[in-house]
Amino acid sequence: MNRPDIPLLALIVPCYNEEEILPKTMDALSSVLIECKAKGLIQDESYALYVNDGSADGTWRLLEERHAADPFCRAISFAGNAGHQNAVWAGMITARDWGVDCIISLDADLQDDIAAIPRMLEQYANGSDIVYGVRCDRSTDTAFKRRTAHMFYGIMRWLKVPLIPDHADYRLVSRPVLEILDNIREQGLFLRGLFPSLGFRHSEVHYERRERTAGESKYPFWKMVSFAWKGITSCSVAPLRLAGLMSFILMLAALAYTCVSLFKYVMGDTIQGWTSMIIVVLLLGSVQLFCLALMGEYIAKMFAEVKNRPRYIVEKKLYAGQPVRASLPKDDDPEQDA
């Protein structure tokens, strides 16, 4: 597939209760689009696509007001909260169906430095199908968050999961990659592990992550732990094998202890027994329960996959004037969505 000299770009911005910071975000992204258009990096029809992930505040109202004044601000809204990863996915699918040549996904809190967008477009022009935005350092994080992040990336490397350290969801994705998304049907999306596994030509752009200027983080500690666990179990079966290895090692230890106990019994030695027995019982029982819980986690994932429910439901769209490409469904009437 030949690339256009000047791509049609969509900025994909998932939003969940971002009323406080959204006006500033929309102004900033509008400015960077105007700048890139003036430099001839993107087509004049390029736009920002906001995905309202079931916000309970005035996020959608602000998007409607901006869309009425700025046709390059477009949006879709979910019927309910579907999660950050599904919001990014929906934005990519929608932009692809509306005919873009590439997308750049970024968070609405402006912590991802939008000054890196022109450099991403340069890497795209040089042939990269995926351009990862990678943080130069984690100086804006707390010491605890830095240590846990490094621990997470270390575990993922040990599990042989293809992951880009210090990369979140700030990335450019070209149309050839967007075209294959329909073939990826898994329910538990972990995009940070998915894109590096696809094998397309990629590159990295480094930037300094800024501090949040308004609003609250949508990833508190326990949600980050849940997200990390989801990433581990979505991208690797190594934990299951580790559980099996632990069970095997403890089985050998229990067998050895049994042989020692029988030998002492035959020799007539008195075995006090209680302390050692209770230690073995508790140890074996806890490992068995851990292995069962781990297998239950994977069974739960299979249950979700078998149900095959939609990841999200798009309730509303703000759309107008987008050029139609061959990939646009014939029954998709842009005027009806406006």
CB 284 within 8 A of CB 251: no
Residues 1-23 pLDDT 10s: 567 789 999 999 999 999 999 99
CA distance 56 to 16: 8
Residues 6+ positions from 131 with CB-CB distance below 8 Å:
120, 123, 124, 171, 172, 202, 203, 204, 205
pLDDT, the chain, mean: 80
Q: In what order do the strands lie in the sheet with 130-135?
A: 202-207, 130-135, 167-174, 102-105, 9-15, 47-52, 73-78, 314-318
**Of the ranges 150-154, 195-199, 249-253, which is most confident?**
195-199
Residue 335 has pLDDT above 50, yes or no: no
Report whether pLDDT(330) > 60: no
Confidence (pLDDT) at 277: 72
Largest Cα separation within the chain, whole Å, is 93
What band does 221 get if pLDDT is binned at 50, 70 and 90? low
Half-sphere exposure of 270 (CA within 13 A, CB side): 1
- Tell me what pLDDT residue 271 has: 56
Poorest-pLDDT segment among 44-58, 190-204, 264-278: 264-278
Mean pLDDT score, 75-89: 92
Show the tokens assigned to 67. Answer: 């869309």
Q: What is the model's pLDDT at position 226?
A: 65
How would you write 40-69 as a 3-class SS string? CCCCCCCEEEEEECCCCCCHHHHHHHHHHH
The whole-angstrom separation of Cα 224 and Cα 239 is 19
pLDDT the model gives residue 142: 66
* 138 contacts 111 by C-beta, under 8 angstroms: no
Q: Is the pLDDT of residue 45 over 90?
A: yes
